[in-house]
Amino acid sequence: MNLKNKKVWLGGGVGNKLFQLAYCFENNYTAIYPNKSEKISELTLGWSRHKDWLNILSIKAIVKIRNENVVDLICLPLLFLLGKKSNDYYIPECSYSIFCYEFGYFQHSKSISITSIEKVCIEVINKISWQPDTNNYSVFHFRGGDFLHENSLLQSGELVDSFLSDKREQLIVTNDVHTLGRLYPECRGLVAEGKSEVEDFKVLSNAKVVYVNDSTFLFWAVAIGVLNGKTTKVIISKGNNLLPLYAMICDNKCILEEVL
C-alpha cells in the first residue's frame, strides 16, 4: 500500500476532528469527512452525532480533505467493526487500519507534534476570526458528560475547589447549567452567557488561567490561548488523558499545574 494515499476517517465532535486533521497533516494523509455516514458511526462505535460549529471541510490549506464516496462507504463498516471488536478505540493512542483507511482519535504525543497543533490552531483562528482580548479572568469548562462517572465527578470537584479560590474574575462555560447548579450551587452565578459554541470557544481561549477537563473542545481553545500568549496558566488533574499534550503546548510558554 502506498502510504501517501492513506486516508483517515474523521469522526466525533469538532475537537476530535481537529486532532484527526492534525494527524493527517503530520503524515500527509487525506481526511475523509463523514457527510453521510455519521449514523453508521453512531450505531457501530457509539459516537454521538454533533453539529459542527466549525466548517471542517473549509480547512484545506494544511490537509487534503474531501467528502466520502461510494468506495469509502463500502469499506467503512469493516473499519468500524475492526475497532469495535477490540473495544480499545477509546484509548487515545490506539488506531486501526484496513486497506488504505485508518481510524483513531490520535490524541497523543505519539501521533501529533507541536507543529501540527500550531497549524490547526492557525486555521481555526482564521475561520472563527479569533482575536485576543484585554480581559484577565480564570475559566472552568463543565460538560454534561463530566458528571456521569464517579471519577470524573471527583476530579471536577477537586478542580472546582481550586477554581473557586482563584482571586481573578471567574467564568464558567458549560452546556449543562442545570446539573452544574445542582452539584455546585455556588457556581450558578459564574456561567458565561455564550450564545453559541464559537462564543464559548472564544471565552475559553481568551482566559488568563484555565482549569481543564478532558474535553477536546477545551484543548483546542487552550492551545490557541497558550500559543498566542493569552493563557499563562493551565491547571489540570493528574488523571487527565490529555496531560501529555497539554505539557507539549505549555512547554516554556505557560505554567502547567497539576492537582491531585
**Quick check: is 132 in a domain?**
no
pLDDT score for 14: 93
**What's the residue count for the chain?**
260
CB 162 within 8 A of CB 259: yes
Total domain count for the chain?
A: 2
Query: Of 92, 127, 162, which one is at a domain's C-terminal end?
Result: 127
Q: Are 122 and 142 in the same domain?
A: no
Return phi, psi of residue 130, to 5°: -75, 140
13 and 101 share one domain: yes
CB distance 210 to 233 below 8 Å? yes
Whether residues 12 and 94 share a domain: the answer is yes
Looking at the structure, do residues 160 and 215 belong to the same domain, yes or no?
Answer: yes
Assess if residue 242 is contained within a domain. yes
Yes or no: say if 95 and 104 are a contact pair by the CB < 8 Å rule.
yes
Shared domain for 80 and 144, answered yes or no, is: no
Reference 156, options 171, 141, 176, 177; nearest CA is: 141
Average pLDDT for consecutive 10-residue bins of the chain (260 residues)? 72 91 96 79 60 90 92 76 56 71 88 96 96 94 68 66 89 89 88 90 97 92 97 91 95 91
Could you say which of 127, 152, 169 is where a domain stops? 127
Q: What CA–CA distance (Å, rounded) separates 242 from 20?
A: 15
Same domain, 48 and 102: yes
CATH number at residue 153: 3.40.50
Q: What is the pLDDT of residue 1?
A: 42
Do both 33 and 93 map to the same domain?
A: yes
Element (H, E) at 224: helix 216-227
Identify whether the C-beta of residue 67 lies closer than 8 Å to the C-beta of residue 29.
no
Say whether both 105 and 13 belong to one domain: yes
Query: Is residue 177 assigned to a domain?
Result: yes
Q: Retrieve residue 241's grid coordinates.
A: 488523558
Q: Which domain holds residue 15?
A: 3-127
Last-in-domain residue among 127, 157, 188: 127
Q: Is residue 116 part of a domain?
A: yes
